């Protein structure tokens, strides 16, 4: 089977680290017929062992920090981390508020950042495409 056939398909594990869930509402919108990410060969997977991409939202919380790190450790290299939304990127409403961290994407060293509060589904799709390209490069 050719390499190309699998190129740009994505198995995504989603991590919520203190998000207001606005970012999750828009991530979920990607499954609507208007965007239908399954047509791109993208799916949300039930185990980090299956994931080649981690999407992460929120500023990071004290209670999630360990589970977030362990999720990342459980993935197989190469894996790409995508910071979804302003909070994860380090520029959002809740970054540094109370006991929140400075941005979950920053902490997990995201290589792709999708800005917005929350990002639109179109912006998310662009970000995920960029991540797929990056993953292809790292995999070849």
Partner 1 sequence: MYRERTVPLSELPAALDEAMHGALPLGCYATNRTVRTLLLSNVGVLALRTPLSVGEAWESLASRYPLFAYHEREMRALQGIELRSSPDLRPLYFRADAIPEAIIAEGKGVSVVVVGPVHAGIIEPGRFTMSTGGESVVHLDAQLSYSHRALEPWFEGRDALALAPQVARICGNCSVARSWAYARAIEGLAGIELDEGTEYARLILAEMERVHVHLFDLGNIAAGAGYGKATTAALGLRERINQLNHAVSGHRLLFDSIVPGGVRAGTLSDPASTRAILREIRDDIVRFTDAFFARRSVLRRLDGAGIVEESLARRFGAVGPSARASGIACDVRALAPYGAYRGVAFSEERASAGDVYARSDLRRREIERSFDLLDRALRELDIAALPMPAEIAAPPAGVITTVVEGARGAESLSLSLGSDGRVERLHVISAAYRNWPLVTRAMEGNIVPDFPLVNKSFNLCYSCVDR
Give residues in contact with partner 1 (CB under 8 A): 13-29, 31-35, 44-48, 58-59, 61-68, 71, 93-94, 97-100, 117-118, 120-121
Residue 65, binding choice from partner 1, ligand SF4, none, Cβ under 5 to 8 Å by partner class = partner 1
Q: How far is the CB of 10 from ligand SF4 (least distance, A)?
A: 21
Binds 13, which of ligand SF4, partner 1, none (CB < 5 to 8 A, cut-off by type)? Answer: partner 1
From the CA atom positions of the chain, what is the Rg in Å? 14
Left (φ > 0), alpha (ψ -120 to 50) or beta: where does 39 sit?
Answer: alpha
Q: Is the Cβ–Cβ distance between 45 and 91 less than 8 Å?
A: no
Q: What is the largest CA-CA distance in the chain?
A: 52
Give the alpha-carbon dihedral of 67, 73, 76, 78, to 10 degrees: 110
3-state secondary structure of 28: helix
Distance between CA 86 and CA 84 in Å, rounded?
7
Count of residues near ligand SF4 by CB under 6 A: 14
Interface residues for ligand SF4 in 65-94 (CB under 6 A)? 85-87, 92-94
16 makes contact with ligand SF4 (CB under 6 A): no
State which residue, 87 or 128, has the beta carbon closest to ligand SF4: 87
The residues binding ligand SF4 (CB under 6 A) are 19-20, 22-23, 57-58, 85-87, 92-94, 117-118
């Amino acid at each position: 089977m050719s390499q190309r056939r699998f190129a740009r398909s994505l198995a995504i594990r989603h991590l919520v680290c203190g998000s207001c869930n606005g970012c999750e509402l828009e991530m979920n919108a990607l499954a609507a017929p208007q965007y239908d990410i399954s047509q791109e060969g993208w799916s949300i997977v039930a185990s980090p062992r299956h994931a080649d991409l981690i999407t992460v939202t929120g500023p990071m919380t004290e209670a999630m920090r360990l589970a977030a790190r362990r999720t990342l450790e459980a993935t197989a290299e190469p894996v790409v981390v995508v910071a979804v939304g302003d909070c994860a990127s380090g520029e959002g409403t809740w970054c540094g508020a109370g006991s929140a961290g400075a941005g979950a994407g920053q902490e997990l060293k995201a290589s792709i950042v999708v800005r917005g509060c929350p990002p639109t589904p179109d912006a998310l799709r662009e970000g995920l495409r960029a991540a797929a390209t990056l993953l292809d490069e790292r995999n070849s």
